[in-house]
Amino acid sequence: MPRGTFITLEGLDGSGKTTQIKRLTAWLTRRGHQPVVLRQPGGTAIGDRIREILLDSRSRGVAPMTEMALMFADRAQAIAEVIQPALDAGRIVVCDRFTDSTEAYQGGGRELGSEIVLDLHRLICGGLQPDLTLLLLPGLETSLARARRRNHRVEAETGASEGRFEREQDTFFRRVWEKYRDIAVREPERVVLIEGDLTIDEMHEQIVEAVAERLMLTAKTA
């Protein structure tokens, strides 16, 4: 059986990934596919517990190396339990974040550098790379404002807070944003950069055009 296709969506929180993943998976489903959808951190029982530690705003004093190690622990479990079996079965996998996020947030934001992230990726993930990465990169200020509004709303509605990263200073997110751009420049064959403060429909059109080209499908968005 031919190997499946591994698609990731990347970007700052507030970049529109959640909405676009929903629209992309609906678009794929209408074309006869049954995509496997997951998020990182999370997507497995173990991963969801790791997610609680990493994103809960009550988690204090997490060292940058600990943070990165937990990200890769989550990723290793997701690969073993969900991603690799789905690809082996010929499925399309759509994942909200992968190693690019670790390179951007821990390598860039935490200033650990790209080299250690990429070394760990080769060691722990066996070098598994997405076939296509859709990098959503609205303006920095737009993304931060959206993410912070969403976290306030979710916390008010549920009492749960996943805003640990959103409490960082804007200089942290500037480093993340710039590292994402570095990745796009370094790997243009894999990473499709969707940049600027686009509408939801405009972003969706660019996403399905890129996915259709990779999967050799018609790019109609309906």
pLDDT along the chain (222 residues), means of 10: 92 92 97 95 96 86 95 98 97 98 97 98 95 92 73 58 74 94 97 94 96 76 54
What pLDDT, on a 0 to 100 scale, did the predictor assign at position 155? 56
Q: Supply the CATH classification number for the domain 5-215.
A: 3.40.50.300
What local confidence, expressed as pLDDT, does residue 163 receive? 65
> What pLDDT is stored for residue 43 in this prediction?
93
What are the domain boundaries of the chain? 5-215
Answer yes or no: are the C-beta atoms of 4 and 35 closer than 8 Å: no
Instruction: Report pLDDT for 144.
Output: 76
Confidence (pLDDT) at 147: 67
